Amino acid sequence: MSSETAPPEPQSEVSISLTLNGRDVTRTVEAGTLLSAFLRDGEFLTGVHRGCESTRCGACTVLLDGEPIKSCNVLAVQVDDQEVTTVEGLADEDGSLHPVQESFWDTHGLQCGYCTPGMVLNSVALLEENDDPSVTEVQERLSGNICRCTGYTKIIESVRNAADAIDDD
């Protein structure tokens, strides 16, 4: 086999460069590090909530190049050269909240708040694609995000109100 096609030697530690909440960062991570562990334990972004650690609850949802993914089910090495947004990256630098965060606040779209970062990030991505989602579309979209405090009525209302607020701007 020629050297051109020789596959790389497997490594225990891998260097990754990514854009994290708008900042360029380069880090060395152990190959098996979950993205959720990298974000929480390495970058202290504790808005990434670990809920079920089994890909069911969606509390650890972050945006990868703008698309929602579950950070407990992706390795940190897999986000090399990409853009990651956590809930900490949504507000403006002056602290003013993203319209979706604002709407969850105003509409009482949270109780304990544990699921909220995942709900908010998934909703932000939804509204980027569809600026006027129906109740059914919001329900389908948030089906991978579980709230155990209560029903989902206020959460869905928060997303709908955020769509209206963004539309009014």
What is the size of the binding site for another protein (CB under 8 A)? Answer: 38
CA distances from 95 to 56, 68, 101 (A): 31, 23, 12
Contact letters for another protein, residues 102-141 (x by CB under 8 A) = --------------------x------------------x
Shortest Å distance, C-beta 58 to another protein: 6
Backbone angles phi, psi at 83, to 5 degrees: -115, 125
In single-letter form, the type of residue at position 46 comes to: T
Tell me: does residue 31 bind another protein (CB under 8 A): yes
Shortest Å distance, C-beta 61 to another protein: 6
Interface residue with another protein among 6, 23, 28, 151 (CB under 8 A) is 6
Strand order from edge to edge, sheet including 13-20: 23-30, 13-20, 83-85, 61-64, 67-70
Query: In this structure, are residues 23 and 15 in contact, taking their beta carbons and an 8 Å threshold?
Result: no
Tokens 């992706």 correspond to what residue? 74
Task: Give the separation between CA 145 and CA 11, rounded to whole angstroms.
Answer: 34
Contact letters for another protein, residues 34-73 (x by CB under 8 A) = x--x---------------xxxx-x--x--x--xxxx-xx
Shortest Å distance, C-beta 144 to another protein: 3
130, 123, 127, 126: which is closest to 154 by C-alpha? 123
Tell me: does residue 87 bind another protein (CB under 8 A): no
Shortest Å distance, C-beta 14 to another protein: 5
Binding positions for another protein, rule: CB under 8 A? 1, 5-12, 14, 30-34, 37, 53-56, 58, 61, 64, 67-70, 72-75, 77-78, 122, 141, 143-145
